[in-house]
Each structure stands twice: as C-alpha cells, then as structure tokens.
Amino acid sequence: MTGHGRPEGRFVGKVMVVTGAAQGIGRTVALGAAREGASLVLVDRAEIVHEVRAELEGLGAQALAVTTDLENYSGADSAMAQALDRFGRIDILVNNVGGTIWAKPYAEYREPEIEAEVRRSLFPTLWCCRAVLPAMLKQGGGVIVNVSSVATRGVNRVPYAAATGGVNALTASLAFEYAEHGIRVVGEPNSVLKSYRSRPTTSARSVPARLTAVGPSRDPGRGPGPGRPARVIRPRRGARPRPRCAIPPARSPRTCAP
C-alpha cells in the first residue's frame, strides 16, 4: 500500500478470482495479489473463506467471498457470475483447488476413491476454465493460471497424478486454442511452493509458509490427518529409502509440468 492507503503493484485495477482461497496456497496467493493492488474474488467450499475476505478488507483490498462446490459445473458457473456481478470483469483466474486425498499403491484404490481423486484435482479447473472463458472473450483477454503438481510422475498417488496430468494437458490445449483471443493460459507445477519456502516468514514480502503459519490443511477431505482416509506409506525398518518419484521430474517450461 502507498502512504495514502492506495494500493500499488502489479495488479492495480485487476480483478483476480482465486479458487481454494480459504487456506494454504490459495489464501497466500490472494494475500499477495491484494498487497499488489488486486480486487479479489475468493472461492472455496469452506466457510473459513469469509475470514480471508475480512483479512483482505483489513489490508484495504476489495474482496468478495463465494462459498460453492467447484466439483460441479453449476458451482463454477455461479462463482464466475457472482464475480462479474460485483466487479464487471475477471482479469485473472487462479485455479488452485486440488490435492491428494489418499496415498497408497494403485492396486489398493477402490473405484469411488479413484473417482473422488479425479473429481477433486481435475474437475474444478476444467469447470472454472469453461465458466470464465465467455467473460474473457467478451472483454478481449485475460490470464488463467492452473496450479498443478510435480506429482504427475510418482508412486502411490496414481489417480492424483492422472488428474494433475489432465490439468497440464488442458492448460497446454487451452493456451493454443485461445492465444489468438489474448487469453494467456499457464500452469504452475510447484514454483509457488519453492518461492514461499525459500523466503523468511517475517519479511513483509514473504508468502507465509502453510506448514509454519497456517498449519495442516483444514480441508476435511485432505489427508493425512486424524480420522482422514490417507495412509502414509513408511519404509520397513532397515529398508533403503525409496525414491519419492520413480521418474525424476523434468525441468519443464512454465506452461506445462512434467
């Protein structure tokens, strides 16, 4: 903020929608963008998203909180409609909802678990991209940032890998399809995490690390945690530690995670 209470930064005059904004990376992105002048639409199915709205308003930002389930198209459509109703445009959409629910060998996943993983980590992004496009086309441009994961290649999270691989595929395809309309579509595999882990949490510019500043995810569907379905696979005593990824993630361009 400037000394006169006016925001300054890269997002002055921009409207940004952040999904999964109640906590973790989404909340962190929203706070950072608000500090740089953005007006925010915070979308989450958790009611605590209203606490984040109050936090942003405390910083002097304009903010709207929308509680909806983005695993359904109607939820995504309603979120974009409410954003347009309040601010008249959407310059940036950050699709951040997702996250592994269970971690175990693929042979042990049951059908509903596989479906739940794909619903959690692919559909919210797929739906929100579709729901925002008419507005971006009408206004002549926009930016879509899809948060993915380096876990597209790894062990014990095959359905999540499939879902985030799907996010990478739709990101690249949308980027090709809408470039000529001034719509930029980019993917974010993990550099958000790298940047916030590498900065001291006391710095005003820093993004507070979820593990130290926010604690474990408060999304009841995310494991591991007490009463949650996730199962942590630990190596047997004396066994050599297994590599986290069967295939090391490639150093990929920003538009598409490995």
Ligand X SMILES: NC(=O)c1ccc[n+]([C@@H]2O[C@H](COP(=O)([O-])OP(=O)(O)OC[C@H]3O[C@@H](n4cnc5c(N)ncnc54)[C@H](O)[C@@H]3O)[C@@H](O)[C@H]2O)c1
Is residue 174 within 8 A of residue 185, CB to CB? The reply is yes
Instruction: Tell which residue, 199, 182, 100, has the closest CA to residue 133.
Output: 182
Name the nearest CA neighbour of 207 among 1, 24, 4: 24
Of 109, 160, 178, 196, the active-site residue reads 160
Nearer to ligand X, 151 or 175 (CB): 151
The minimum distance between CB 73 and ligand X, in angstroms, equals 12
Which token pair is 125? 């992004």
Judged by CB, which is closer to ligand X: 124, or 165?
A: 124
Q: Is the peptide bond before 224 cis (omega within 30 degrees of 0)?
A: yes
160 tagged catalytic: yes
Residue nearer to ligand X on the CB measure, 38 or 79: 79
Residue with smallest beta-carbon separation from ligand X: 24
Shortest distance, position 71 Cβ to ligand X, whole Å = 4
CA distance to 232, 233, 237, 245, 248, per residue, from 241 (Å): 14, 11, 10, 12, 15
User: Shortest approach of ligand X to residue 142 CB, angstroms?
Assistant: 20
CB of 3 to ligand X, least distance (A): 33
What is the Cα Rg of the chain in Å? 18
Query: Which residues of the shown chain bind ligand X in the complex (CB under 6 A)?
Result: 20, 22-26, 44-46, 69-71, 96-99, 120-121, 124, 147, 149, 190, 193, 217, 219, 222
Minimum CB distance to ligand X, residue 236 (Å): 25
Q: Report residue 33 as tokens.
A: 């963008």
Q: Which is nearer to ligand X, 39 or 100 (CB)?
A: 100
> For the residues of 166-180, what is the DSSP string, one character each?
HHHHHHHHHHHHHGG
Angle between helices 49-58 and 24-35 (to 10 degrees): 20
Cβ closest to ligand X, residue 60 vs residue 216: 216
User: Hey, which residues are catalytic here?
Assistant: 160
